[in-house]
Amino acid sequence: MIEKIKKMLGIGPKANLGEVIARGAVIVDVRTTGEYAGGHINGSVNIPLAALAGQMARLKKDKPVITCCASGMRSSSAKSMLQANGFTEVYNAGSWYNLKKFER
């Protein structure tokens, strides 16, 4: 029960994003198209947060999803939206810079 509460609150060990990416995760960058054009992770998909609700069908619910943005605020919102719509394995990487070391 305690572990479930910790997970809900985001407390505890962080996911190893390198392992999640190795398992075929889709990286969804929720910044604006202009921000994305200024730099992004190779292989990531740009779905701005404002468009995410209408474009979730582009993503598969049976694959892990990693959200990112500029600072972590929008990617946190995106994670919540995806989870509310049946995506079970969603990770918030925060800033897209956090994923540079895993770039494909």
Active site residue 68: no
The residue type at 53? A
Q: If we measure between CA atoms, which residue out of 90, 58, 55 comes closest to residue 75?
A: 90
The two tokens of residue 103 are: 């770039």
What is the three-class DSSP state of 28?
Answer: strand
Active-site entry in 25, 69, 78, 90:
69
Catalytic residues: 69
